[in-house]
Amino acid sequence: MATLLITLFSQPAPVQLLLLTAFGLVCLTISMLVLRLLRAMNPQVTVATPVPPFIGTIATAWALALGFAAADVWAARAHAEQAASEERSTISRLAGMAAQEALNVPAILEALRNYETSVVEVEWGQLANTEPVEDVDDALQQIRIDIVRLANAGTAPALIAKMTQDFDELQDARNKRLAIGSSSISQYKWYLVLFLTFLSMVALASVHADRPVAARNALSVFMVAAVVSLWILVLHATPYSGSARIIFDRTQIASMR
């Protein structure tokens, strides 16, 4: 089941919509079968039909579960955007201090280029920030060594302190990005949403057991609402992958000397 969720989240938007529509149609089909079963098992179907307010108990639970999932999605995305902004900002500040017109440390600029390239192409691009990459760790270690060399060479302590602070913030932003990428999906919460979507449609069919045409119409409307709602959330469920993923905006280190 977890693999199915990951597969769903990693698909292009049209494929996600098709998969969710298929899920909705399956729920619709099963709900209509439940309706037929209720009518077949109860000759006096009016007596066996639950009262209309019954649907509110299940639908409310579905709406709450969907709302909780949506809150997690938007919060994770906001944190991901913040981490990306912080990471780019610290890279820019470190590159500015290492530029020729500042401290003139080409080694730090080169390490920052390697860091950014490895992040964009591998850690972010290929792995969607789900795990760290050794090349990025190596680039960070090189920057750390170069800052120590500057300190040993007698560079002003205030400048070293500022570079150290920026370097620490760079590592913190990267760690935050990796934490979000590896744990942004609460799988059990999505299981609950999908199950309550199905159960809501079954409940909707049961309260219309005495009116099959009305049941079909109500289920069709609910299915469209549920599929579109789920699709919008799925589009943004993984901030670093999928069609609505956040793109890392590269700095202008390459132009610095």
pLDDT in tens, 223-256: 999 999 999 999 988 888 877 888 888 776 655 5
Q: Which of 194, 193, 205 is nearest to 28 (CA)?
A: 205
**3-state SS assignment for residue 37:** helix
Give residue 45's Cα distance to chain centre: 45
Nearby residues of 194 by Cβ (< 8 Å), 6 or more positions away:
23, 230
Structure tokens at 11: 């698909």
Q: What pTM, to 2 d.p., does this model score?
A: 0.80
Q: What are phi and psi of 211, to 5 degrees?
A: -140, 80
pLDDT value of position 45: 64
Higher-scoring residue by pLDDT: 55, 196: 196
Q: What pLDDT score does 119 carry?
A: 92
Residue 177 buriedness (CB in 10 A; 0-12 / 13-18 / 19+)? buried
Instruction: Convert the pLDDT of each residue in 79-133 to its tens digit.
Output: 999 999 999 999 999 999 998 888 889 999 999 999 999 999 999 888 888 889 9
pLDDT 10s digits, 41-71: 777 666 666 677 778 888 899 999 999 999 9
Nearest Cα to Cα of residue 89 among 254, 251, 256, 253:
251
- Residue found under tokens 């744990």: 183
Give the Cα separation of 142 and 223 in Å (integer). 55
Residue 129 to residues 16, 85, 201: CA-CA distances in angstroms? 21, 15, 37
pLDDT greater than 70 at residue 213: yes
